[in-house]
């Protein structure tokens, strides 16, 4: 559950690319230990928002606070320190093909924390077990695994350093619905075990419903609805309603045609 001081606070965040305004005033507070999922159509700015928090993009206006600390405009060195709080599961897994599975999982421990290989390997094997993979899988290369197994490895890597905050970027893309459900279940379990705050972006509603405590919907540069996952069916918001039911007809399509 969450406690009083929020982990991440976005205030009046704006990000444009030339004349294209992508984020036009995002306000969002994510509690400690909370799992928040941002939904929204393609190109609405979900990745841009995540990249702003990760420091990969710099917003031209607004504030991003992590544990109360302003991170917009901090130095590269300070950014490295803040980044150590983060774990990340990238869209598509983004595993290193030339490294064995265990080396992928241990990457942040060896490279980021300068941990000895033997110790990092033990932790990697432990994390692989947490996502349901046998120690023997650690010796394989990613190309020898199915897509679902690769996602498990990516999840093991995301939790390897016991991060305080984990970002999930489209965690179920490319998986069949059953494997997606398995991965969603593992995400919930692992986030709880690590005690992390989770921020995910997806357009997979089954995933959002399963992993979110709260859901926020991004549309036209703003969060048009934020609320408990259990209340999204009764949001009373026609944009949300259309999106979550995947209806062709509704206000979103009309504006796309314009």
Residues that bind ligand ATP (CB under 6 A): 17, 22, 40, 42-48, 203
Are the CB atoms for 211 and 129 separated by under 8 Å? no
Q: Is the Cβ of residue 43 or residue 68 nearer to ligand ATP in the bound state?
A: 43
CB of 189 to ligand ATP, least distance (A): 25
Count helices and strands in the chain by DSSP H and E runs: 9, 10
- Report the side by side order of strands in the sheet with 86-89: 86-89, 165-169, 197-202, 35-39, 214-219, 222-228
Q: What residues contact residue 184 under an 8 Å CB cut-off, 6+ apart?
A: 171, 172, 206, 207, 210, 211
Q: Is the Cβ of residue 161 or residue 172 nearer to ligand ATP in the bound state?
A: 172
Residue 73: left (phi > 0), alpha (psi -120 to 50), or beta? left
Q: Using H for helix, E for strand and C for coil, what is the string for 54-119?
A: HCCCCCCEEEEEECCEECCCCCHHHHHHHHCCEEEECCCCCCCCCCCHHHHHHHHHHHHCCCCHHH
Dihedral in degrees, nearest 10, Cα atoms 158, 187, 64, 68: -90
Distance separating alpha carbons of residues 110 and 252, to the nearest angstrom: 46
Q: Is the Cβ of residue 21 or residue 65 nearer to ligand ATP in the bound state?
A: 21
Are the CB atoms for 12 and 62 separated by under 8 Å? yes
Which residue's entry shows tokens 């703003």?
222
Q: Is the Cβ of residue 44 or residue 161 nearer to ligand ATP in the bound state?
A: 44
Distance separating alpha carbons of residues 33 and 24, to the nearest angstrom: 27
Distance separating alpha carbons of residues 122 and 4, to the nearest angstrom: 36
CB of 44 to ligand ATP, least distance (A): 4
Q: Is the Cβ of residue 1 or residue 17 nearer to ligand ATP in the bound state?
A: 17
Q: Is the Cβ of residue 123 or residue 223 nearer to ligand ATP in the bound state?
A: 223
CB of 112 to ligand ATP, least distance (A): 25
CB of 51 to ligand ATP, least distance (A): 7
Q: Is the Cβ of residue 22 or residue 180 nearer to ligand ATP in the bound state?
A: 22
């Amino acid at each position: 559950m969450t406690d009083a001081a929020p982990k991440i606070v976005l205030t009046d965040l704006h990000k444009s690319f030339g004349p294209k305004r992508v984020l036009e005033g995002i306000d969002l507070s994510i509690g400690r230990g909370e799992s928040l999922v941002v939904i929204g159509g393609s190109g609405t700015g979900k990745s841009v928002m995540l990249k702003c928090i990760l420091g990969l993009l710099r917003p031209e206006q607004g504030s991003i606070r992590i544990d109360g600390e302003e991170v917009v405009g901090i130095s590269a060195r300070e950014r490295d320190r803040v980044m150590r709080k983060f774990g990340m599961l990238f869209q598509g897994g983004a595993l290193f093909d030339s490294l064995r599975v265990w080396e992928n999982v241990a990457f942040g421990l060896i490279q980021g924390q300068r941990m000895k290989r033997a110790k990092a390997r033990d932790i990697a094997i432990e994390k692989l077990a947490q996502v349901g993979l046998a120690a023997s899988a650690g010796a394989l290369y990613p190309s020898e695994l199915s897509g679902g197994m690769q996602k498990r490895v990516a999840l093991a890597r995301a939790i390897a350093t016991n991060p305080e905050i984990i970002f999930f970027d489209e965690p179920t893309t490319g998986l069949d619905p059953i494997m997606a459900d398995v991965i969603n279940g593992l995400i919930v379990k692992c986030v709880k075990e690590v005690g992390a705050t989770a921020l995910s972006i997806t357009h997979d509603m089954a995933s959002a419903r399963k992993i979110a405590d709260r859901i926020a919907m991004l549309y036209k540069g703003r969060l048009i609805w934020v609320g408990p996952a259990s209340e999204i069916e009764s949001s009373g918001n026609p944009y949300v309603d259309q999106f979550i039911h995947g209806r062709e007809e509704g206000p979103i399509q009309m504006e796309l045609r314009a």
